[in-house]
């Protein structure tokens, strides 16, 4: 991996498709109205299959209206359409009128179908992205121009440097891993990129990475909460993001969302979504993935096999895991507070975004001035069953033999639709993605020092549970540096061993003298936050000003069984 990193660091990639009109996302956007109608039609049919009787469908519609009206009362966002209340009030009125009629009235059936069509058409319109080449080019140039000049000015420390081009984003953001394979696969089939998710910066970052690697623009599944922030909303709209509103848990919305994703992938649009479903509130690498959008890739591959005429080569879908690795996360204190408040409970938590344009700009400035890098790790391509694929896109079994994924959808020699079977395939794929996340994640010095410090404090207070430990006063939390140093060295050695075994990876800065590695980690861990999660006091001991936030950064190395080396 380190050889790949050095080779990729400053390489400039030629676009694999020179002209934007050749991009699949452009073709999708060019026929946006027809595509939205197609999504709504397919979603309508799917929901009718799932709720086949009149009573089931009416009950579902009533539940949808109730949930939507409760959402508007309790959790409204600036980005919500202004006519929401009016729309849902009219739907409720029509439902009341409908339920007053006898069930055997044919007009009743037509009315409930009409109401369902109205709802899914509205949802499809809300979800749909709107990729525009002119806006895309402008947004891309703005990101490159201002980020690069801010980086240059802060590195050179002179105002005039803001107009030079000595440093670029590639000096700041390291792209490592299977870049060559990703570019090859994008030429041969459809990419579904599935990154880890820990920050609101992720969507803009991954958009830049896609451009930097010479790939066509992808369609995005971006959380609607991001569109509350005007500057991010502009870039997301320009890049063709489709909107995912995680407040909406009703069947018509979820099926319309899945249909949008599945049909776009089926039509050849490279796609990106965060399968964890939301930002990791604990700081952990994702362990459990949401299967909804992920299942759309499986369904799209089956439909491609069904619709490809005999004798033609069917287009394959390739799933590419990606990890985004940061020294610090802007939202870490709020995310970990949310996690701790619901720890042990399995319920949905709305994303009430607490950041605006000013906070994002402050974060970006800190990112550049503090000298804190970001690493993007591209994993090996998978097919929709979770098998590795080679450079040519061939699926490989555990022994490295080429296999045909079409066979997975056969029953009595024919391609068939079997939801239970495909759900199992999606579950297998999700497990492989999680395993790949842990393999390709790059451990930073900041992760190392945060993990070691928190674990050492846990060992010092064996009788306290997590919440008891977090309530300890700061004056009781101090680590002797020689012991901390020795433990860091021991844990780092195990990280080296994990890399040799192909179970983990680490940044190059983790090598070298341990004192310099610790210094680098302390300088970078949570260095944006007002209350530093880890630092050295005047006596040379390791202390914390915010144990909760330290716990967030510590969690990035949970899952590697490093606790036994503390």
Write the pLDDT tens digit of every residue in 347-386. 334 444 454 555 555 555 655 555 457 899 999 999 999 9
- Where are any strands of DSSP class E within 72-206? 173-177, 190-195
Tell me the C-alpha to C-alpha distance, in Å, between residue 296 and each of 127, 267, 430, 441, 455: 15, 12, 13, 25, 40
Largest CA distance in the chain: 84
Q: Answer left, alpha or beta for residue 559, where phi above 0 means left and psi between -120 and 50 means alpha.
A: left
Say what the pLDDT of residue 390 is.
Answer: 97
Say what the pLDDT of residue 59 is.
Answer: 95
Rounded-to-integer distance, Cα 203 and Cα 133, Å: 18
CA geometry: angle 187, 175, 206, nearest 5 deg: 70
Find where tokens 């590695």 sit. 517
Q: Work out the burial of residue 175: count CB atoms within 10 Å of its CB; fewer than 13 is exposed, 13-18 middle, 19 or more buried.
A: buried
Q: Which helix (H) or strand (E) holds 395?
A: strand 395-396
Say what the pLDDT of residue 288 is.
Answer: 92
Q: Are 386 and 431 in contact (CB under 8 A)?
A: yes
Rounded-to-integer distance, Cα 449 and Cα 444, Å: 9
Rounded-to-integer distance, Cα 300 and Cα 268, Å: 10
Find where tokens 């959808």 sit. 409
| Per-residue pLDDT in tens (0 to 9) along the chain, 566 residues | 444 444 455 567 888 887 888 888 888 888 899 999 999 999 999 999 999 998 999 999 999 999 999 999 999 998 899 999 999 999 999 999 888 777 666 666 689 999 999 999 999 999 998 787 777 777 667 666 655 555 454 444 444 444 444 445 566 688 999 999 999 999 999 999 999 999 877 887 888 889 889 999 898 888 888 787 776 777 777 677 889 998 999 999 999 999 999 999 999 999 999 999 889 999 999 999 999 999 999 999 999 999 998 888 999 999 999 999 988 888 899 999 999 988 845 433 444 445 455 555 555 565 555 545 789 999 999 999 999 999 999 999 999 999 999 999 999 889 999 999 999 999 999 999 999 999 999 999 999 999 999 999 999 999 999 999 999 998 899 999 999 999 999 999 999 999 999 999 999 999 999 999 999 999 999 877 888 999 999 999 999 999 999 999 999 999 999 999 99
Q: Are 131 and 137 in contact (CB under 8 A)?
A: no
Q: Are 444 and 452 in contact (CB under 8 A)?
A: no
Q: Are 448 and 300 in contact (CB under 8 A)?
A: no
Rounded-to-integer distance, Cα 373 and Cα 516, Å: 16
For residue range 53-91, list pLDDT tens digits in order: 989 999 999 999 999 999 999 999 988 999 999 999 999
Q: Are 387 and 431 in contact (CB under 8 A)?
A: no
Per DSSP, the three-state class of 359 is helix
Say what the pLDDT of residue 228 is.
Answer: 78
- CA-wise closest residue to 95 among 55, 51, 126, 46: 55
Say what the pLDDT of residue 234 is.
Answer: 72
Question: How far from the centroid of its chain's Cα atoms is residue 206's Cα?
Answer: 9
The torsion angles phi and psi of 395, rounded to 5 degrees, stand at -75, 145
Q: Work out the burial of residue 251: count CB atoms within 10 Å of its CB; fewer than 13 is exposed, 13-18 middle, 19 or more buried.
A: middle
Rounded-to-integer distance, Cα 439 and Cα 287, Å: 13
Say what the pLDDT of residue 469 is.
Answer: 94
Q: Residues 537, 541, 546, 552: is their CA dihedral positive or negative?
A: positive
Residues paired with 375 in a beta bridge: 174, 325
Fold adopted by 2-20+130-391+398-440: Glycerol-3-phosphate (1)-acyltransferase (3.40.1130)
Q: Are 323 and 381 in contact (CB under 8 A)?
A: no
Say what the pLDDT of residue 152 is.
Answer: 52
Find where tokens 């079994």 sit. 397
What lies within 8 Å, CB to CB, of 367 at 6+ separation is 374, 528
- CA-wise closest residue to 244 among 266, 283, 273: 273
Q: Which helix (H) or strand (E) holds 184?
A: helix 179-188
Tell me the C-alpha to C-alpha distance, in Å, between residue 500 and each of 309, 350, 380, 506, 559: 46, 40, 17, 11, 17
Say what the pLDDT of residue 17 is.
Answer: 85
Domain with CATH 3.40.1130 in the chain: 2-20+130-391+398-440
Both tokens of 253, joined, read 């919305």
């Amino acid at each position: 991996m380190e050889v790949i990193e050095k080779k990729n660091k400053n390489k400039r990639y030629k676009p694999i498709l020179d002209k934007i009109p050749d991009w699949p996302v452009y073709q999708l956007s060019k026929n946006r109205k027809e595509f939205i109608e197609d999504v709504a039609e397919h979603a309508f049919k799917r929901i009718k299959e799932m709720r086949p009787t009149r009573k089931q469908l009416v009950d579902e519609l009533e539940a949808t209206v109730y949930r939507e009206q409760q959402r508007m009362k309790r959790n409204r966002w600036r980005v919500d359409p202004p006519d929401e209340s009016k729309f849902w009030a009219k739907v409720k009125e029509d439902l009341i009128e409908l339920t007053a009629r006898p069930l055997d009235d044919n007009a009743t059936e037509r009315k409930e179908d009409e109401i369902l069509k109205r709802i899914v058409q509205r949802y499809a319109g809300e979800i749909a992205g709107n990729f525009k080449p002119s806006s895309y080019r402008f947004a891309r140039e703005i990101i490159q121009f201002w980020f690069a000049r801010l980086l240059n000015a802060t590195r050179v420390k002179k105002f005039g440097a803001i107009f030079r081009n000595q440093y670029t984003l590639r000096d700041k953001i390291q792209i490592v891993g299977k870049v060559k394979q990703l570019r090859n696969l994008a030429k041969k089939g459809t990419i579904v990129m599935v990154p880890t998710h820990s920050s609101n910066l992720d969507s803009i970052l991954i958009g830049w990475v896609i451009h930097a690697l010479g790939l066509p623009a992808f369609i995005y599944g971006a959380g609607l909460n991001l569109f509350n922030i005007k500057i991010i909303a502009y870039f997301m709209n320009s890049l063709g993001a489709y909107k995912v509103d995680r407040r909406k848990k009703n069947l018509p919305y979820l099926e319309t969302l899945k249909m949008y994703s599945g049909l776009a992938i089926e039509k050849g649009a490279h796609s990106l979504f965060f399968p964890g479903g939301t930002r990791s509130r604990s700081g952990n690498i994702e362990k459990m993935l949401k299967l909804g959008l992920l299942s759309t890739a499986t369904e799209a591959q089956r439909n491609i096999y069904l619709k490809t005429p005999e004798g033609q080569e069917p287009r394959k879908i390739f799933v590419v895991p990606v990890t985004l690795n940061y020294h610090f996360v802007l939202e870490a204190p709020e995310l970990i507070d949310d996690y701790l408040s619901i720890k042990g409970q399995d319920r949905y938590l709305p994303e009430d975004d607490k950041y605006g344009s000013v906070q994002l700009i402050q974060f970006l400035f800190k990112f550049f001035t503090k000298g804190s890098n970001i690493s993007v790790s591209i994993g090996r391509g998978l097919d929709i069953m979770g098998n590795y694929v080679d450079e040519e896109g061939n699926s490989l079994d555990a022994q490295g033999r080429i296999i045909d994924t079409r066979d997975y959808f056969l029953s009595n020699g024919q391609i068939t639709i079997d939801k239970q079977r495909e759900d199992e395939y999606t579950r297998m794929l999700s497990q492989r993605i999680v395993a790949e996340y842990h393999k390709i994640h790059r451990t930073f010095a900041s992760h190392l020092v945060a993990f070691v410090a928190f674990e050492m404090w846990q060992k010092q207070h064996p009788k306290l549970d997590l919440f008891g430990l977090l309530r300890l006063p700061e004056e009781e939390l101090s680590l002797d540096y020689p012991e901390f140093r020795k433990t860091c060295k021991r844990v780092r050695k195990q990280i080296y061993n994990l890399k040799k075994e192909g179970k983990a990876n680490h940044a190059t800065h983790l090598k070298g003298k341990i004192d310099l590695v610790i210094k680098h980690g302390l300088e970078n861990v949570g260095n944006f936050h007002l209350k530093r999660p880890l630092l050295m006091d005047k006596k040379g001991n390791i202390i914390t000003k915010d144990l909760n936030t330290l716990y967030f950064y510590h969690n990035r190395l949970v899952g590697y069984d490093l606790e036994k080396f503390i």
